[in-house]
Structure 1
């Protein structure tokens, strides 16, 4: 019985982490909606900016942890908005390179300002020490999950 309660608590933690992620995303999406951006669009722009701009579509999809066909739709929308450009790669003609336009870079400044406001509001009342410890714990859980996935992958081979 005690072990069952421990399992339920662990499931509750996973549920809380999932809920936290969804809530954070919803708040950020609401803040960025006036800029004409959906979650897939602003996260693609954000990641492209953070990884150095000129990336292959495949690399960007991997960094966003989504399938390439899903990203292709989003990139098409961003291209229509004039926020990115896609060009053939000189080394591999099959690959497409994604770059931010001047308009995309300007919009990123607005995105960053709004995301920092959201971050400050959501982390209000949490000390730097508490936040550092929480980030350390989240990193440890993520590392454990990655290790487990790699182990499972090896077992299937």
Structure 2
């Protein structure tokens, strides 16, 4: 696997310094390189639709909520700040993908809903994107996927310490 250049430079320096557990360091950098590659691929998959990952996440969440969601609920579900959601919603609204409506119970509160155009785009992108994501590990057998999931979970526990 080709490491990102910065990680390769760090591995080379770690080897030069004869640091312990170079294999563990290399595994970490392989994981980070894979994640960066997935992020780049994700951005490339979403770019033709004029979407960033953040905008895609909001479309995905709104597609699952036909009655709409409040901006604060979107922020919480997406794991971002309210300010970030406001910026993302502004862009989606400019492109007529969402509409802001006054909440029926509290006119001071907003309810965000997909427009017809937004629903169509969400349907197309969700189908395309989920196939792409699933294909990333398509070359692994079921036991290999289970083993990878187990190993990732085991490694993740070390980050909690």
**Same-fold call, TM cutoff 0.5:** yes
Q: Which region of structure 1 is more displaced relative to structure 2, 31-40 or 15-24?
A: 15-24
Count matched residues. Answer: 142
Partners of 2:109 and 2:153 lie apart in 1 by 32
TM-score using structure 1 length: 0.71
Aligned pairs for 1:52-71 (under 5 A) are: 52-53=65-66, 54-71=68-85
Q: Which runs of 5+ in 1 are unaligned?
A: 150-157
Q: Give the structure with the larger helix fraction.
A: 1
Residue 105 of structure 2: aligned partner: 91
Indicate how the Cα distance of structure 1 residues 74 and 127 shifts in structure 2: closer, same or farther if over 3 A, else same: same
Secondary structure at the residue paired with 1:23? helix
How far apart are residue 27 of structure 1 and its match?
Answer: 0.7
Residue 116 of structure 1: aligned partner: 130
Aligned pairs for 1:77-88 (under 5 A) are: 77-88=91-102
Partners of 2:84 and 2:136 lie apart in 1 by 29
- Choose which of 36, 41, 45 in structure 1 pairs with 2:55: 41
How far apart are residue 132 of structure 1 and its match?
Answer: 3.5
Larger Rg: 2
User: What are the Cα deviations for residues 39-82 of structure 1, in whole angstroms up to 9, with x where unaligned?
Assistant: 221121123224x2411111111111111101101101101111
- Choose which of 106, 113, 130 in structure 1 pairs with 2:120: 106
How large is the RMSD of aligned CA atoms in angstroms?
2.9
Instruction: Report 1 or 2 for greater relative contact order, CA contacts < 8 Å, sequence distance ≥ 6.
Output: 1
Indicate how the Cα distance of structure 1 residues 144 and 82 shifts in structure 2: closer, same or farther if over 3 A, else same: farther
Residue 139 of structure 2: aligned partner: 125
Residue 148 of structure 2: aligned partner: 134
Q: Which runs of 5+ in 2 are unaligned?
A: 1-18
Partners of 2:107 and 2:153 lie apart in 1 by 37
